[in-house]
C-alpha cells in the first residue's frame, strides 16, 4: 500500500537526507493520534513514515548523526502494526509483521547488498521476530512460532558467519 503521493515520493527520492525531519514529525503525529484513539490518522502517519524510511533505505544515504534508515523503517512499521491492532485489524497487523520479517530475512541473505545494510537488517531481525511471534501468540497461532524462530536463527547464523568471520 502506498501512503505518499507521487510528488512526495519523488521529493524523498531526490533528497533523502531532507526527509529525516518529516519522518520524525510523522512518528510524533502518529503517536499523538494513536494515543487519542484516532487510528485512521495514526495509520496514515505511521504508514507514511514507513514508506519514507523505505525510500531512504533504498537510496542508502548514511548520516551517522541520524537513526539508521533500517531502524526507522522497523519502528514505523511496528507502530503501524500496533495501530492496526488497536483498530481491530489483527489480520492486517499480522500480515504487515510477516512482510517485515520476510523483507529483513531477504536483506540479510543478499550478498550483493552493502555490508552495513546486511548488518542493520541482522540487528533488526530479532526485534521483528519478537513482534511477529507476539502477534501470532495473541492470535493463537502457536504452530507458526517455532518455524519462524528456526528460520530466523538459520538465516541470522549464516549471515553473521558471512559478515563477521
CATH architecture of 1-88: Up-down Bundle (1.20)
62 burial via Cβ count (<10 Å: 0-12, 13-18, 19+): middle
Helix residue spans in 60-138 (DSSP H): 69-86, 90-109, 115-138
Count H helices and E strands in the chain, helices first.
Answer: 7, 0
Does pTM top 0.85 for this prediction? yes
pLDDT at 150: 95
Q: Which three cell numbers stand for residue 93?
A: 497487523
The pLDDT tens digits of the residues spanning 142-165 come to: 989 999 999 999 999 999 999 987
pLDDT digits (tens, 9 = 90+) for 47-105: 999 999 999 988 765 666 678 899 999 999 999 999 999 999 999 999 999 999 999 99
Are 49 and 30 spatial neighbours (Cβ–Cβ below 8 Å)?
yes
Amino acid at each position: 500500500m502506498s501512503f505518499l503521493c507521487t510528488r512526495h515520493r519523488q521529493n524523498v527520492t531526490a533528497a533523502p537526507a531532507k526527509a529525516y525531519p518529516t519522518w520524525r514529525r510523522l512518528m510524533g503525529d502518529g503517536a499523538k493520534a494513536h494515543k487519542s484513539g484516532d487510528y485512521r490518522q495514526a495509520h496514515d502517519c505511521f504508514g507514511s513514515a514507513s514508506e519514507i524510511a523505505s525510500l531512504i533505505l533504498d537510496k542508502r544515504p548514511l548520516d551517522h548523526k541520524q537513526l539508521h534508515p533500517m531502524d526507522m523503517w522497523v519502528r514505523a512499521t511496528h507502530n503501524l502494526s500496533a495501530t492496526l491492532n488497536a483498530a481491530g485489524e489483527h489480520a492486517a497487523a499480522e500480515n504487515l509483521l510477516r512482510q517485515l520479517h520476510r523483507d529483513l530475512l531477504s536483506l540479510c541473505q543478499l550478498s550483493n547488498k552493502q555490508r552495513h545494510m546486511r548488518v542493520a537488517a541482522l540487528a533488526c531481525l530479532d526485534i521483528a521476530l519478537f513482534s511477529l511471534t507476539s502477534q501470532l501468540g495473541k492470535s493463537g497461532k502457536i504452530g507458526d512460532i517455532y518455524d519462524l524462530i528456526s528460520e530466523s536463527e538459520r538465516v541470522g547464523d549464516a549471515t553473521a558467519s558471512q559478515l563477521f568471520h
